[in-house]
C-alpha cells in the first residue's frame, strides 16, 4: 500500500513540474532570467542538443534522463525547445507538449 502512495506522489510531482515548465514557456524573460539561463548547464545542454536535433531533421524528443533533478530536467526542456525553435521556428506545439507529458 505504501508503494502505491509513493508512486502516486512521484507522478503528481512530475505532473506539477511539467505543468509549471510549460505554462511559462511564452513569457518574455527579464535580463536577470536570461543571465541565469546562460549560466545553467542543463539549459545550455538542452539548447545545444535542440539545435543539433533540428539541424539533423530529428523529431523533437529531449532526453531529459540526462539530468537527475526536476529543476535541471525542466531547464533542459526549456533550452531544448529554444534551440530547436531557433533552427525550425514554429515546429513546437501541442504535439511536442503531449510527448513530454506522456513520459
At 43-75, the pLDDT tens digits run 999 999 999 999 988 888 888 888 889 999 999
For residues 86 and 72, what is the distance between their CA atoms, to the nearest angstrom?
21
What is the structure's pLDDT at 101? 44
DSSP designation for 48: H
> Structurally, how many domains does the chain consist of?
1
What range does the domain containing 12 cover? 2-102
Q: What is the pTM of this model?
A: 0.55
For residues 57 and 42, what is the distance between their CA atoms, to the nearest angstrom?
22
For residues 94 and 102, what is the distance between their CA atoms, to the nearest angstrom?
12
Amino acid at each position: 500500500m505504501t508503494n502505491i502512495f509513493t508512486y502516486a506522489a512521484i507522478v503528481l510531482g512530475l505532473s506539477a513540474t511539467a505543468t509549471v515548465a510549460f505554462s511559462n514557456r511564452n513569457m518574455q524573460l527579464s535580463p536577470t532570467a536570461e543571465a541565469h539561463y546562460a549560466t545553467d548547464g542543463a539549459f545550455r545542454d538542452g539548447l545545444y542538443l535542440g539545435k543539433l536535433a533540428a539541424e539533423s531533421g530529428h523529431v523533437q524528443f529531449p532526453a531529459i534522463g540526462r539530468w537527475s533533478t526536476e529543476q535541471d530536467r525542466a531547464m533542459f526542456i526549456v533550452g531544448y525547445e529554444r534551440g530547436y525553435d531557433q533552427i525550425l521556428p514554429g515546429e513546437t506545439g501541442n504535439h511536442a507538449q503531449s510527448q513530454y507529458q506522456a513520459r
